């Protein structure tokens, strides 16, 4: 059996399009996935939350105000929380015009729609479970969607999928429910805490602002749940100089709104 992950082998460090190529297209839309693919970027990051009627959707904020026209369409529904709207209501919203007229009519995608697009481009996915405290059971539900979409088979879990969260409890739940899935914790635990994290997460993913070469080395010294050194994917940096600097720290991935800029900086272009 050939190793299906080989054809999607990464550059080092990996370059991950944050909310899609979100400097160039509205974040967390299918257009942002397409833009990342057009730029030749293999990884996309997204944020997953849940509607009132239990549909998983891809959006960053816990409310719909900043990235849709919800105030105009549903003026009486303040504070416009994602969890207070049905999937059908959210599907009516324009999630592109705020970014620019060229994207008028872009939608907030369901997780299924998003996965289909990522799969269509043969990309890899860094999926963030956002605000899990608002959505009890979202870890099991997310894994179910991933399974239905064929993303828990061997090739995907071998190298095309990472599930991350700022909530350590959520990351641990994902690991416990599906130990084969690679996971990431968003944050900067102390070095003394890293051994505990290494029991359930494969990555420690800090803001680049809290990063040092020493910290990256400390993380790498621990072995994760799949028997490999813990990795570091850092976020969210968008300029060539910072990309070169943190690459020099030995990070494994850079999460960026401008993946083309970071990729070119790392290749010396």
C-alpha 23/C-alpha 12 separation (Å) is 22
Closer to ligand G3P by CB, 45 or 94: give it.
45
Strands (DSSP E) contained in 1-86 are 14-17, 43-50, 56-58
Strands (DSSP E) contained in 34-110 are 43-50, 56-58
C-alpha 198/C-alpha 150 separation (Å) is 27
* Largest interatomic CA distance in the chain: 57
Task: Identify what 90 binds: ligand G3P, Ca ion, none; CB under 5 to 8 Å per kind.
Answer: none
> Which residues of the shown chain bind ligand G3P in the complex (CB under 6 A)?
18, 45, 47, 60, 128, 186, 235-236, 255
Q: How far is CA 236 from the centre of its chain?
A: 12
Task: Identify what 124 binds: ligand G3P, Ca ion, none; CB under 5 to 8 Å per kind.
Answer: none
C-alpha 94/C-alpha 60 separation (Å) is 15
Closer to ligand G3P by CB, 113 or 236: give it.
236
Catalytic residues: 18, 60
Task: Identify what 157 binds: Ca ion, ligand G3P, none; CB under 5 to 8 Å per kind.
Answer: none
Is residue 47 a contact point for Ca ion (CB under 5 A)? yes
Which region, judged by CB under 5 A, interacts with Ca ion, from 27-35, 44-52, 92-100, 103-111? 44-52
User: Looking only at residues 114 through 133 of this chain, which bind Ca ion when binding is defined by CB under 5 A?
Assistant: 128
Residue closest to Ca ion (Cβ) = 128
Is residue 260 a contact point for Ca ion (CB under 5 A)? no
Helix (H, G, I), strand (E, B) or coil at 257: coil
Closer to ligand G3P by CB, 60 or 107: give it.
60
Is residue 202 a contact point for Ca ion (CB under 5 A)? no
Dihedral-angle region of residue 105 (phi above 0 means left; psi in -120 to 50 means alpha; beta otherwise):
left
**Cα separations in angstroms, 239 against 12, 21, 262:** 17, 14, 7
Which region, judged by CB under 5 A, interacts with Ca ion, from 3-11, 39-47, 78-86, 217-225? 39-47
Residue closest to ligand G3P (Cβ) = 235
* The token pair that represents 244 in the structure block: 């070169």
What is the contact surface with Ca ion in residues (CB under 5 A)? 47, 128
């Amino acid at each position: 059996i050939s190793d299906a992950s080989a054809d999607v082998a990464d550059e080092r460090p990996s370059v991950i399009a944050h909310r899609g190529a979100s400097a160039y297209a509205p974040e967390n839309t299918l257009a942002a996935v397409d833009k990342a693919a057009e730029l030749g970027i293999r990884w996309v990051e997204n944020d997953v939350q849940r509607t009132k009627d239990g549909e998983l959707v891809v959006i960053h904020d816990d409310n719909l105000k900043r990235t849709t026209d919800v105030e105009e369409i549903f003026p009486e529904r303040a504070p416009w929380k994602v969890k207070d709207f049905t999937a059908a209501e959210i599907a009516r919203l324009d999630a592109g015009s705020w970014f620019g007229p060229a994207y008028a009519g872009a939608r907030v995608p369901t997780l299924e729609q998003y996965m289909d697009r990522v799969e269509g481009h043969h990309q890899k996915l860094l999926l963030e479970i956002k605000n899990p405290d608002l959505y009890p059971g979202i870890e099991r539900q997310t894994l179910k969607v991933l399974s239905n979409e064929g993303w828990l088979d061997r090739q995907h879990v071998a190298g095309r999928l990472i599930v991350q969260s700022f909530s350590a409890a959520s990351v641990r739940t994902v690991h416990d429910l599906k130990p084969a899935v690679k996971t990431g914790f968003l944050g900067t635990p102390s070095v003394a805490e890293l051994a505990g994290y290494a029991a359930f997460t494969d990555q420690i993913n800090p803001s680049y602002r809290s990063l040092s070469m020493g910290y990256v080395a400390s993380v790498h010294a621990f072995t994760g749940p799949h028997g490999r050194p813990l990795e570091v994917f850092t976020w969210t940096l968008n300029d060539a100089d910072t990309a070169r600097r943190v690459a020099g720290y030995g990070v494994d991935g850079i999460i960026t709104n401008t993946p083309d800029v970071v990729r070119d900086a790392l290749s010396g272009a």
